[in-house]
A = this chain, B = another copy of it.
Amino acid sequence: MSTKAPSIKDIAKIANVSITTVSFIINGKAVEKNISTAVIKRVEEIILAQGYQPNQIARSLRTGNSKIIALMVEDISNPFFAGIARLIEEKAYKKGYKIIYSSTESDAVRTNELIQLFRSRQVDAYIISPVQGTEKIIKELIDEGKPVVLFDRHLPTISANYVGVDHFKASYDAIAGFIAMNLQNIALVTVDLDVEQITDRHAGYQQALADHHITYNESLVLKVPFKQPRNETINQLVELFKVNETIDAVLFATNYLAISGLSALRSMNKLVNDSFKVIAYDDGDVFKLHSPQISAVEQPLEEIADNIIKLIFQQLASTTEITPEKIILPAKLIIR
């Protein structure tokens, strides 16, 4: 049983100075506060020798901040979010911040609970891919002066920093691409969530059809229930492709739907080729290594992460309120 970690008090006692003095030294205020170099040196040596680390909890209690940033996404095991998480973690770490993350499952109640929890932990800043029904509490965070950056999804009624991707355009371009290849019976497989980045993809699909004088056909749009197990989704997709034999192109609105889609096609022995094209949302190894390779809409992970971090630290640094920025990045259509 090792001895407990030393506290600032222990250091002060050993150095025969006051706690205050030690605190000034730890926080680099020694010179400004007229502590003699001799004392500084002595204390620093003792700190090193004792392996003293200031207790962050006590610090947080006193200062009101925690050096923790919360990251809230739908599902951390989704490669898109896991990738973002990794990049953000990396950048935050360099500035002395830790990330505490949570999967919201796109559930407003759960998200509310989580934010309450983070709040009671004095979390310094929030990076959120939000769901509808969380507007109130997010507004409260902003009012409290906490830095908040929304990403991926956007809450129209909230004026907050936002980093997103132009899904309408990405989806529009994908469909326009299909049409240019002379494909006419284009299906959209999407999810039944009422969140902006999903509805935008739908809207882009519709607009592209309209602009090219193709009638919108409701039966070619499949809205998969969000929490449905994968097997059932695959069955639904098989059904869709069987019933609508004329389908010659499909846009999948999320990466996991595309994966279900490819599974469905495989089970039907239906090939992806020039008379049956597929575009997936969010690129990934699955699509690159598929035979034939699958075209995809690629979101710029690194840029998204960069901008999020930039906005967070911008807010963390400034005391005055800053007018929220909305950064919309272009997605990249990768035709394979």
| A77 touching B66, Cβ below 8 Å | no
- Most chain B CB inside 10 Å of its own CB: which residue of A54, A79, A263: A79
| B77 touching A83, Cβ below 8 Å | yes
Q: Quick check: is A75 within 8 A (CB to CB) of the other chain?
A: yes
Residues of chain B within 8 A of A100, CB atoms compared: 68, 98-101
**Which of A24-32, A114-122, A324-332 is found at the contact surface with chain B?**
A114-122
- CB-CB under 8 A for A143 and B53, given A77-B86, A98-B117: no
Chain B residue nearest to A68 (CB atoms) is B100
Q: Quick check: is A2 within 8 A (CB to CB) of the other chain?
A: yes
- Most chain B CB inside 10 Å of its own CB: which residue of A61, A103, A285, A290: A285
Q: Quick check: is A288 within 8 A (CB to CB) of the other chain?
A: yes
Residues of chain B within 8 A of A1, CB atoms compared: 143, 145
Q: Quick check: is A144 within 8 A (CB to CB) of the other chain?
A: yes
In chain A, residues 44-72, which have Cβ atoms closer than 8 Å to a Cβ of chain B?
53-58, 60-61, 66, 68
Residues of chain B within 8 A of A318, CB atoms compared: none
Nearest-Cβ distance from residue A270 to partner chain B, whole angstroms: 13
Residues of chain B within 8 A of A54, CB atoms compared: 120
Nearest-Cβ distance from residue A291 to partner chain B, whole angstroms: 4
Cross-chain contact of A143 among B2, B79, B103, B144 (Cβ < 8 A):
B2
Residues of chain B within 8 A of A102, CB atoms compared: 89, 93, 98-99
| B57 touching A61, Cβ below 8 Å | yes
Q: Mark A86-100, 1 if CB is under 8 A from B, else 0.
A: 100110010000111
In chain A, residues 184-226, which have Cβ atoms closer than 8 Å to a Cβ of chain B?
none
Complex: A259 Cα to B57 Cα, angstroms: 43
In chain A, residues 276-312, which have Cβ atoms closer than 8 Å to a Cβ of chain B?
284-286, 288-291
Q: Quick check: is A334 within 8 A (CB to CB) of the other chain?
A: no
Q: Mark A139-167, 1 if CB is under 8 A from B, else 0.
A: 01001110000000000000000000000
Q: Quick check: is A82 within 8 A (CB to CB) of the other chain?
A: yes
Task: Please classify how large the interface on chain A is, using the bins under 10, 10 to 19, 20 to 34, 35 or more.
Answer: 35 or more
Q: Quick check: is A85 within 8 A (CB to CB) of the other chain?
A: yes
Residues of chain B within 8 A of A117, CB atoms compared: 56, 98
Complex: A328 Cα to B58 Cα, angstroms: 40
Complex: A233 Cα to B122 Cα, angstroms: 44
Cross-chain contact of A290 among B68, B79, B284, B289 (Cβ < 8 A):
B289
Complex: A83 Cα to B121 Cα, angstroms: 26
Residues of chain B within 8 A of A237, CB atoms compared: none
Q: Quick check: is A247 within 8 A (CB to CB) of the other chain?
A: no
Chain B residue nearest to A100 (CB atoms) is B100
| B77 touching A120, Cβ below 8 Å | no
| B89 touching A76, Cβ below 8 Å | yes
Q: Quick check: is A5 within 8 A (CB to CB) of the other chain?
A: yes
Residues of chain B within 8 A of A61, CB atoms compared: 55, 57-58, 61
- CB-CB under 8 A for A101 and B103, given A57-B60, A79-B77: no
Extra contacts, 17 of them, besides A53-B120, A266-B289 (Cβ < 8 A), are: A2-B144, A53-B119, A57-B57, A57-B60, A57-B66, A57-B120, A57-B122, A68-B100, A76-B86, A76-B89, A77-B85, A77-B86, A82-B82, A89-B101, A89-B103, A99-B101, A259-B289
